[in-house]
Structure 1
């Protein structure tokens, strides 16, 4: 465990970001001062979760124990301080592991904070945000490359805004196991790793070179190791194709990955350095990179700045929802009509059901995008919408948030089954069904596209939900009454009773 830069105690609020990477776990702690993030502590430990995936893509007990041991150290630091916000994200190894839920449940109990497993492109977005904070605030387009243990991210962006993002299934830990698993280091094995990376890069070469960039920036361990070695050798810290070729020739002289030694190369990176070098060389050649410099910013710094942005109401999730609405030609007036009714329902019964601000956010987003499936077909459009949300890259959303959003859209109309919520923890399942019920009521109230609804009220007692309208209004709106009659039968199938009076 490494510790750097402890500051004196301060009254400024603390925030923390934890990155559960495929090779290492990292935590950065910072203070928020006048809207700026000032790091005060960095903790990190090599865990190699990706190396602990067996043939069935399940994390082994040994790999989990390594992770838990590291998190126990993080938890001790967290428990000894007061934090304004803590965010924990998991990357490729946890995305890939079929039993990640077992690891996550235990890890959350150790840390005392929820863990988000983020999608590859969301990881790329956060990496870019972390790197951008370390660069000059100009309008030049930049390429960012980040080689992790299980995946490699590529992003082109301007200032703090990513324009093109990709996450490829290649990383220094995975490639070490795949090409250097016996420990033998030969030109043939190195070339096999290089060409495997080139094959992965074929998917993005054209789009990235077409968009273009001015500067190339590298982040995270493998690229940091290359930069550190070059500096220790008295070379320029700017990485070039020539300097990479020189390092390759020196690496191949070791014959075994366990013998790789360079000034500036940390012991825990020695065995995985050849694989990282092969991936970096493939990136240079595939994209025509001429030179690259290293940035200290990476995923965890991006997570911190993303948290700060949310506090300032610059939540990227809002932009994502608006983009979905535009892409699938949502009737915005109707979407906000549904959202307003949903929020009204929430205000009346949230306290009874024990729902909070995060639940209101999820409900509001679902209300605004529940119509996106109409762009495909009116028939079963709630299913189409759920599919689009579940299978899209939604910037700013964790996989868990994305799945919950898709579930609300799927459940907002027509048939409803308890099996829809199977696999979710009991407490989460209860909240999701409560949000679905409010969204369904809001959808019925908005069906007539009428902005002149009377004052109505909702009460909840056990599993009974009661809606109250003025008597004369009920008599004048038989279609709404009929819709609620249908809704009553749907909700009865999941154990709820709807009364309209």
Structure 2
């Protein structure tokens, strides 16, 4: 894989479209160090805008677009390759997330990445680890609006990651509507959180940690309340014995708005019972003694991860290598397919104005196109598509995974209308053209011989592909000629034309 040049000093930015709040972080890269220069946060409560059909309402989308419009004014000086915009749980579950992403991309003039839960957890840990010193394993917990992430890591490396479907906004709607709180509703919320935690508690306790740290607004608010009442440790951490005291405080009123919690805004006060229920459950289920706090979170993790993509630390390349090893992919053969794909890409780049990111997508698909053979040789492209769509791939957003899945699923056999429509929906015409290049690169290496791979001259206008081989080459390679004739039929049935000379 070609590696991008390291980023020069200058501005970089990350936008975190959370289920509760949207965050913008602008930083300056100074001699390899990320220095935060500006940050903005707005309560959008996207998760609260999910209706009974898991569709984001027009009102929720309007709130989000208004916020992003304000953010866009601060991003004018940031170059596109120095900006990442990620969406989390609310967009993972929203059935109209693609519509939302298109609208957001129009406002910000930049692609939107909806990330998987474990990828969100990994990025949170990256952000938190940059703000903490010290040795040993640490447990990191981040309570969001729609999900809660749990990570055990050491130094800058996450070892165990999980994302559970419980958050301060979703639990507020479910257990504490209109700010009403009773002992029964609080107990129900805590029990629900403990049920979620039951699937991971033993594995996390078995791995163990030396310190526990929370991040983001919910834990920050609880820590603030605990400190205000003098219940915190001398270091300002939340101790286990403060949980019972905070529970008693919350149950002293029937409406959370009646409770005087110094320093908390009304919108954060309304989320306090739900946030407390999750914190209470995790203290009990994970046997936490004290919980510290870190200012680092997802947005900082996105910034540092972006920096790694332009150096030696692109986690996506490690994920690709791990998949190749786990599923027994022939690395030597996939490299030859990559080399052929690169040559074809270079010839067609002036025609389609491909980007460096497009080349990365093409080569990753080439590296993984045989992954489905680990399940069955018959229909292995379909098995590969399934694996890549559903796998937890560190470093990849959901749209990136979908693109890989669609390309691998369409790299051989007939190109059906539904394949073409899905490729266009996921990546416009560019993803479709990359898939056609992948098909040709795989076909030209069909013999798997080290010496027989052909590098024809390729020309295209987007509909018609023409391959020109060296004189008499095809006469001495009848298998390739037969493959190309069959592929020409596949092209024709898909509305394209392939001619060979």
Shorter chain as denominator, the TM-score bin is over 0.9
* Aligned residue in 1 for 2:283: 284
DSSP 3-state at the match of 1:487: helix
Q: Would you identify which runs of 4 or more consecutive aligned residues in structure 1 move more than 4 Å?
A: 80-84, 423-427
Q: Separation in 2 of the partners of 1:369 and 1:410?
A: 11
Is 1:384 aligned to residue 380 of structure 2?
no
* Aligned residue in 1 for 2:101: 104
Does the Cα contact within 8 Å between 2:9 and 2:32 map onto a contact in 1? no
Task: Report deviation, 1:324.
Answer: 0.8
Task: Report deviation, 1:456.
Answer: 2.6
DSSP 3-state at the match of 2:98: helix
* Aligned residue in 2 for 1:438: 437
Q: 2:203 aligns with which of 190, 202, 207?
A: 207
Is 1:71 aligned to residue 68 of structure 2?
yes
Change (3 A) 1:461 1:60: closer
Q: Separation in 1 of the partners of 2:141 and 2:450?
A: 50
Unaligned 5+ segments in structure 1 are 1-10
Aligned residues: 490
Q: Separation in 2 of the partners of 1:412 and 1:20?
A: 34
1:48-69 residue CA offsets vs partner (Å, 9 max, x unmatched): 1111111111111221222122
Q: Separation in 2 of the partners of 1:252 and 1:425?
A: 54
Task: Report deviation, 1:470.
Answer: 2.0
Change (3 A) 1:180 1:439: same
Question: How do 1:158-307 residues align onto structure 2 when only pairs under 5 Å count?
Answer: 158-234=154-230, 235-236=232-233, 237-307=236-306
Task: Report deviation, 1:424.
Answer: 5.8
Does the Cα contact within 8 Å between 2:125 and 2:297 map onto a contact in 1? yes
Task: Report deviation, 1:282.
Answer: 0.5
* Aligned residue in 2 for 1:28: 25
Q: Separation in 2 of the partners of 1:84 and 1:137?
A: 33
Task: Report deviation, 1:313.
Answer: 3.3
* Aligned residue in 1 for 2:12: 15
Task: Report deviation, 1:254.
Answer: 2.1
Does the Cα contact within 8 Å between 2:12 and 2:26 map onto a contact in 1? yes
* Aligned residue in 1 for 2:58: 61
**TM-score calculated relative to the size of structure 2:** 0.95
Change (3 A) 1:156 1:256: same
**What is the root-mean-square deviation of aligned Cα atoms in Å?**
1.6
DSSP 3-state at the match of 1:146: strand
Q: Separation in 2 of the partners of 1:118 and 1:194?
A: 27
Identify which range, 105-114 or 431-440, moves more after superposition: 105-114
Q: Separation in 1 of the partners of 2:455 and 2:70?
A: 54
* Aligned residue in 2 for 1:374: 373
Q: Separation in 1 of the partners of 2:78 and 2:384?
A: 43
Task: Report deviation, 1:229.
Answer: 1.7
Task: Report deviation, 1:146.
Answer: 0.5
Task: Report deviation, 1:451.
Answer: 2.2
Q: Separation in 2 of the partners of 1:56 and 1:427?
A: 23
Is 1:44 aligned to residue 70 of structure 2?
no
Is 1:308 aligned to residue 316 of structure 2?
no
Question: How do 1:419-458 residues align onto structure 2 when only pairs under 5 Å count?
Answer: 419-422=418-421, 428-452=427-451, 453=453, 455-458=455-458
Identify which range, 453-462 or 328-337, moves more after superposition: 453-462
Task: Report deviation, 1:119.
Answer: 0.6
**TM-score calculated relative to the size of structure 1:** 0.95
